[in-house]
Amino acid sequence: MPALKSILETAIYVDDLGRACAFYEDVMGLRPLKKTDRLCAYGVNERSVLLIFLRGGTAQGATADGGNEIPPHDATGQIHFAFEATHAAFAEWDDHLTARGVDILSRTSWMRGGKSLYFRDPDGNLVEIAASPGLWPMEGTTA
């Protein structure tokens, strides 16, 4: 079996692209790599990419840079994904989100020492800030 290195992209689909991009830029502090009328792409710590697609905007497929075809894709419903933060930054994220008027739905402590904040974005997706290591066995257990 060939080895996988990591998950490179996470994609969410939203009803109002401008509203979603404003949230991820203004509240989450992400800077766009690319913006079009159907998507915003954000680099996260030079390790991964958050893709925000306008719902239905990719249902017909697209042409990628270089002229290659990207197959159609789309999704409905609320999803869950997590941003990773250090334990040192975790309380700062709690304070920052609260100051920005974001309703924290849950503050969770995990048995391996990790911590999580859960909240919803403007489209109802469940977003998590996870302080690691300490969530999953492969991270180790030291904070």
Number of compact structural domains in the chain: 2
Task: Check if the beta carbon of residue 53 is closer than 8 Å to that of residue 13.
Answer: yes
Strands 126-131 and 80-85: parallel
Residue 85, pLDDT score: 94
Q: Identify whether residues 32 and 88 lie together within a single domain.
A: no
Residue 68 has pLDDT above 80, yes or no: no
> Residues with Cβ < 8 Å from 12, sequence gap 6 or more?
20, 50, 51, 52, 53, 75, 79, 81, 121, 123, 125
Residue 50 has pLDDT above 50, yes or no: yes
* Strand ranges, E, within 1-143: 9-14, 32-35, 39-44, 48-54, 62-63, 69-70, 80-85, 106-109, 115-120, 126-131
> Ranked by mean pLDDT, which of 1-5, 116-120, 131-135 comes out on top?
116-120
What CATH number does the domain containing 130 carry? 3.10.180.10
For 94, 97, 121, the CA distances from 7, given in Å and listed in that order, are 25, 26, 21
Structural domain that includes position 21 = 1-57
Residue 141 has pLDDT above 60, yes or no: no
Residue 57 has pLDDT above 90, yes or no: no
Q: Identify whether residues 82 and 140 lie together within a single domain.
A: yes
Q: Identify whether residues 88 and 136 lie together within a single domain.
A: yes
The rounded percent of the chain whose pLDDT value lies above 70 is 93
What CATH number does the domain containing 43 carry? 3.30.720.120
Token pair recorded at residue 51? 């893709």
Confidence of residue 33 (pLDDT cuts 50, 70, 90): very high
